[in-house]
Amino acid sequence: MSDARVLIVHTGGTIGMVPTDRGLAPAAGFEQLLRARLGERLAGLPEFDMVELEPLIDSAELKPAHWRQIAEPILQRYADYDGFVVLHGTDTLAYTASALSFMLQGLNKPVLLTGSQIPLSSARNDAEGHLLAALGLAGGGQINEVCVLFNGRLLRGNRCVKLDASAMAAFDSPNCPHLGEVGIGIRLRHDLLLPAGAPAFTSPVFDASSVAVIRLFPGIQNTFVQAVLSQPGLKGVVLQSYGVGNAPVSDRSLMEALEAGVQRGVSIINISQCVRGAVAPATYATGAALASVGVIPGADLTLEAAFAKLHWLIAQKATPAQIASAMSRALCGEQSAP
């Protein structure tokens, strides 16, 4: 048995679901099932305790307020454990991983998120391997950031996306190399992992109404954009544009709607709809026009990271100018250098 101690935070998700007459559903008592299924294979791994959220969350039901609930056990018991594993449903796992990375800046211990495509309760599953690998890495003392561990891939939490709805290799980080691989052995990319920091943790109150997403599409109407930008409580928007940050700028009414939103104090962050690549507003006139009305370039941020970063900044009471400054640089590895 390893001397390390790990805290598992079970939030819900497929990994701990059981069959019901309504389909798979979250169920309490996962720790007992885990110990029974893994049995002797836990020998040599860190000792662990588990806390379960009450009630457990189907990740499709996730709200920004849950991020604080998920972080609380880590914040409260940070000094008591050598590492942390968060079990989470796959649908919104990348959003939570991104949010935790901003809330838990300056980590000097691992925080690993994992889940599964098939429940641990099933005879054939991917959950067992994920749990064993996550426990081993969480107690290993070599990782100092929020990561996602899935199907043998160790990914930076705020760079990963769910790319496949049903394959075992559900997650990847298209704009960031894998931080490690778990196979016959464990190979970590120490040249890519963040160094240990001085904890600067935050647990702000998130307001679900403060951030929205607008995805451009052919024929998008200014009235649609105006309707989103006029929502009560809105302070930030992630704008998913074409290619390297382009938009139909010849539609003056659309551009005026975006500019009016900026003038009302709404921070609009421009990211690409493409899985790979970054916005480069200077490349085309259509991209430069967005910047000219105050839309903020979002580099190669994923949707999940841009959404979480914007939420976190707003919850921290950042001003539009402070948000624009923060979006121009990486706070915790979430985007590439310009």
Q: Which residues are catalytic?
A: 14, 90
Q: Per the annotation, does 59 bind a ligand?
A: yes
Instruction: Please report which residue ranges of the chain form alpha helices under DSSP H.
Output: 30-38, 64-76, 93-103, 127-138, 222-229, 252-263, 285-292, 303-315, 320-327
Give per-residue burial for 103-122: e unless 16+ CB within 10 Å, then b: bbbebebbbbbbbbbbbbbe
Separation CA 162–CA 275 (nearest Å): 11
String of DSSP letters for 6-73: EEEEEEESGGGEEEEBTEEEE-S-HHHHHHHHHGGGGTTSEEEEEEEEEEEE-GGG--HHHHHHHHHH
- Residue 203 is labelled as binding a ligand: no
Output the CA torsion sign for 71, 75, 76, 78.
positive
Q: Residue-wise over 20-58: b if at least 16 C-beta within 10 A, else e?
A: eeeebebbeebbebbeeebeeebeebbebebbbbeebbb
Any binding-site annotation on 91? yes
**What are the φ/ψ torsions at residue 70 (nearest 5 degrees)?**
-70, -40
Q: Is the peptide bond before 281 cis (omega within 30 degrees of 0)?
A: no
Please enumerate, by residue number, every residue annotated as part of a binding site for substrate: 59, 90-91
